Amino acid sequence: MTTISQKSQLLNHCREAASTIHADCNEILAAKGQHDQVIVTRASLAGCGPALVGLLSRQANIVQDIYDNSSQAITDTDITPCERNPIWQQKYDLALKRLEDVASIAYSKFYAYLFKDLPVCWRQLYTDARILKFCLVFLMSPYAPQNRSDGGSSDDAHYCLDELIKTLDLTLILAGAAGERRGRRWIDKALRLLHVIWLAENEARNINRDSLADHDRSAKRLKLIRAHEILNIDDTHIADTTFSADEPFTPPVTYLVRESDTLSIEEFQTYMDRPHDPKLGPEPLILHNALSEWPALSTHPWNRPSYLLSQTFGGRRLVPVEIGRSYVDEGWGQKLITFGEFLCEYIDPTSLASAECHTNPNKKGNDDERRYGNQSNSETVDNPASNPIAYLAQHQLFTQLPSLRNDILIPDYCYTSPPAHPTDARIDQPELDEPLLNAWFGPPGTISPLHNDPYHNILTQIVGRKYVRLYSPLETTRLAARGKENGVEMGNTSMLDIGVLEGWDESPAIGSSEHDDEEGGSEGRVDNEDSSSKGTMNEKDIGAFKAVPFVDCILEPGDALYIPIGWWHYVRGLSVSFSVSFWWN
């Protein structure tokens, strides 16, 4: 069980944030009209204008004042500062409203730009407003050191925890926390401290519950209390459960990808340097048992819902998921939901049917959540029986959840020197300082349509199985690249729907959709006008497609697949599947 020290650390962490934001704003306002380019460049909030900077500054000052007032009540565990003084309650409520206004104004600017072009000031303004909101909610929550915390089950405590986590997750997902140096480092520390406090509160709650049971608590009372508790990750059923391995459909493997046991970094470099076909360059390669030292496959098993829930505040963390079979299908969209909701409603509803999964406390969501991505499926998302497929795809999950990042290792292969693109040097990207990591987590039937990547890729399989089909970059002209559509370059994605052409899937409508760019923004896709001509193929076209050579495979847990730059690949989840891709050059 934690001591008061973690709560005090988080309290001071919040106090410092309010002080820093207030000082930054005042520095910008003091420089107004002085043409101090050094200050303006360093303090990017200046780009939002003095009115908004001034508004944020006043709210930071109020938060500071409330925190200073709260320090006088540390020894009084019966009432909060605002309960002691109605004036402070009025200031608290007004500051919360103003901070929501500031965040809403900042977020509205996200729609005026592609995310990569969004001026940093708006991301920073959104981040600072959300951090200040977190500070206010925390101060009045049962987790603050000066407030009551009796270890019992409390709706208020759960609501506060929901709000605290949602506030910071929206900042991470929607604004990238304005970067590592500005907000992400602060948020990571705040969530680490809150997680320790939450675990201790859970332990105290469990002890209290067991004590009540020992005193002949009635079955009715026990049921009532448990109905208000979050998922108990120590429950025997959940702790022993692994994700279902059922595969509704398994495609045949026709031309197996070359295989090998784990190679040394020198052997892998030699494999890339000495290809069988110099014009083509290195070919795909399966590396078996390449992940044997990863905690995600052993001591911290990702195939157990209980472990993943333990790292997400019992499933409270928000995650962005794609709704729909494929990002080129009509009706494809994006939605922010809690991790627990994702597990119970989409990933493995059968195995987790008896779990009390934590769902979004505000099902309708606030404006930020409602506007996230394409919400064309929002009418069906709340009904699990009619839910389409949901996929946590190409998300930088390990930036959001650093604890999961510790469960995997960057393969040594990502520190080799791979060759350039074999046919088109324009596709090569500037050299990366570190590999790019993306998570891919979904139920059976998730699909990444036929596409190619601008980097070399090590695709690692941690949970479940995936089918992968690959086509050589020398066959690009025969693979019907989509080109520019709706003003967006889609040349890395094929118009060929492998599942439909092979008879594995029914033909879906292909039309308007959106797709994440590299940093989480959304971009328009094919419109309905285009789909009528581009979404169909005659028998001659189908025959030509089936004549194009390919290789394919099924990845098992512990396997790594090397996908060289430029190779077209179609990926299909066969069971519940969790994969991580490592892009490097």
Q: Do 32 and 102 sit in the same domain of this protein? A: yes
Q: Do 224 and 270 sit in the same domain of this protein? A: no
pLDDT of residue 375: 43
234 part of a folded domain: no
Give, in degrees to the nearest 5, the angle at Cα 342 between 336 and 346.
Answer: 120
Those residues with Cβ within 8 angstroms of residue 27's Cβ, 6 or more apart along the chain or in another chain: 39, 43
Whether the Cβ atoms of residue 415 and residue 340 lie closer than 8 Å to each other: no
Q: Do 447 and 561 sit in the same domain of this protein? A: yes
Torsion over CA of 340, 346, 347 and 348, rounded to 10 degrees? 90
Q: Do 179 and 38 sit in the same domain of this protein? A: yes
Q: Do 207 and 297 sit in the same domain of this protein? A: no
Q: Is 353 exposed, middle or buried (0-12, 13-18, 19+ CB in 10 A)?
A: exposed
pLDDT of residue 145: 86
Q: Rounded to whole angstroms, how far apart are CA atoms 305 and 343?
A: 8
Q: Do 150 and 202 sit in the same domain of this protein? A: yes
Task: Please give the model's pTM, rounded to 2 decimal places.
Answer: 0.84
Q: Do 194 and 328 sit in the same domain of this protein? A: no
Cross-strand bridge partners of residue 320: 336
251 part of a folded domain: no
320 part of a folded domain: yes
Last residue of a domain, one of 180, 208, 229: 229
236 part of a folded domain: no
Last residue of a domain, one of 229, 250, 269: 229
Q: Rounded to whole angstroms, how far apart are CA atoms 296 and 123?
A: 33
Q: Do 270 and 341 sit in the same domain of this protein? A: yes
**What stretches in the chain show pLDDT beneath 70?**
1-3, 32-43, 71-85, 148-156, 204-239, 353-387, 487, 509-537
Q: Do 382 and 494 sit in the same domain of this protein? A: yes
270, amino acid identity: T
246 part of a folded domain: no
Last residue of a domain, one of 210, 229, 248: 229
194 part of a folded domain: yes
- Provide the domain count of the chain: 2
Q: Do 224 and 280 sit in the same domain of this protein? A: no
242 part of a folded domain: no
Which CATH number covers residue 473? 2.60.120.650
pLDDT of 370-429, one tens digit each?
556 544 333 333 444 456 799 999 899 999 999 999 999 999 999 999 999 999 999 999
pLDDT of 274-331, one tens digit each?
999 999 999 999 999 999 999 999 999 999 999 999 999 999 999 999 998 888 887 7
Those residues with Cβ within 8 angstroms of residue 207's Cβ, 6 or more apart along the chain or in another chain: 151
Give one DSSP letter per residue of 516-554, joined into a string: E-TTS-EEE---HHHHHHHS---HHHHHHHHTS--EEEE
Instruction: Print the domain residue range for 26.
Output: 4-229
30 part of a folded domain: yes
Q: Do 550 and 408 sit in the same domain of this protein? A: yes
Q: Do 159 and 268 sit in the same domain of this protein? A: no
Taking alpha carbons only, the member of 319, 336, 339 closest to residue 373 is 336
